[in-house]
């Protein structure tokens, strides 16, 4: 057995995909499915701010796609929002401040629905949480998981829409977040009965460090695939991918 590390990639059925938005853009992404053929739940991910280095390979989202299909039978859909570039390619259009990105989220969820991927959840990180909160309550998802929500773009009306939907919201709040810390988050989400605010001691906005990545992934799986929680921290050496792994990203 070997311990999971930041560069550990585990088996999955990986497919490069393209999404089509209602305003005619093509977005590039990847779908990672469990090799077991069983899907406990599906994550549709929304990455951090592309104007500050966020993209579909931002490290927590990448590690979710590298680990959760194998460890938890969770499907992970990652994609670049409009105008965003990564090694996978560049999505059409241009950054739109969280407005047009709502159409991007809609296209991703529609793709998951068309593929028959069950128990869909939005997983947003930083800017991605703003997109989820502003546009996600009406989408065909079971709920949303928010990593480091800044709550700079989402409005009280957006939170009210989530409240009216009665869909659960899990907000993971780093103790040392640059934008919204646990006490502020509790106050901000108090008007949303379906929201659960979970502070994470020692963590920062970018969740740097394997310890914090494990906490995040454990919290996600405990919510969307509880029978697969807690996640193991070691795996058989024979299942670890031994190719070249990308350098660590913190954005």
Mean pLDDT across the stretch 200-213?
98
What is the pLDDT at residue 251? 37
How much of the chain exceeds pLDDT 90, in percent? 95
The token pair that represents 187 in the structure block: 């106050």
CATH 3.50.50.60 for domain 2-239: no
Does residue 128 contact residue 44 with C-beta atoms inside 8 Å? Answer: no
| pLDDT of 170 higher than 70 | yes
| pLDDT of 243 higher than 70 | no
| pLDDT of 72 higher than 70 | yes
Task: Answer yes or no: pTM beyond 0.85.
Answer: yes
What is the pLDDT at residue 191? 86
Strands (E), the chain: 2-3, 13-20, 26-33, 41-46, 74-79, 85-86, 89-90, 120-125, 143-147, 169-176, 195-204, 234-235
Q: What pLDDT, in 10s, does the model give residues 119-135?
A: 999 999 999 999 999 99
| pLDDT of 250 higher than 60 | no
How much of the chain exceeds pLDDT 70, in percent? 96
φ, ψ of residue 5 to 5 degrees: the values are: -125, 175
Mean pLDDT across the stretch 8-32?
98
166, 138, 134, 144: which is closest to 223 by C-alpha? Answer: 144
Separation of alpha carbons 130 and 136, rounded Å:
9
Mean pLDDT across the stretch 185-195?
94
| pLDDT of 115 higher than 90 | yes
> Is 123 strand, coil or helix?
strand
């Amino acid at each position: 057995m070997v311990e999971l590390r930041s560069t550990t990639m585990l088996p999955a059925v990986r497919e490069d995909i393209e999404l089509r938005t209602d305003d005619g853009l093509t977005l590039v992404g990847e779908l990672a499915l469990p090799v077991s053929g069983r899907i406990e739940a599906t994550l549709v991910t929304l990455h951090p701010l592309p104007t500050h280095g966020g993209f579909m390979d931002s490290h927590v989202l990448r590690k979710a796609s590298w680990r959760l299909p194998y460890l938890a039978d969770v499907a992970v859909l990652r994609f670049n929002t409009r105008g965003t570039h990564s090694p996978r390619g560049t999505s059409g259009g241009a950054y739109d401040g969280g407005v047009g990105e709502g159409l991007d989220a809609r296209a991703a969820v529609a793709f998951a629905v068309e593929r028959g991927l069950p128990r869909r959840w939005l997983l947003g990180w930083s800017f991605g949480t703003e997109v989820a909160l502003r546009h996600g309550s009406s989408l065909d998802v079971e709920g949303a998981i928010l990593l480091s929500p800044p709550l700079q773009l989402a409005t009280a009306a957006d939170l009210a829409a989530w409240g009216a939907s009665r869909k659960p919201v899990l907000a993971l709040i780093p103790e040392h977040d640059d934008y919204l810390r646990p006490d502020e988050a509790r106050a901000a989400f108090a008007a949303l009965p379906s929201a659960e605010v979970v502070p994470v001691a020692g963590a920062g906005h970018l969740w740097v460090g394997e310890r914090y990545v494990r906490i995040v992934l454990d919290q996600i799986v405990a919510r969307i695939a509880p029978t697969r929680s807690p996640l193991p921290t070691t795996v058989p050496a024979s299942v670890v991918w031994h190719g070249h792994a990308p350098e660590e990203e913190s954005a």
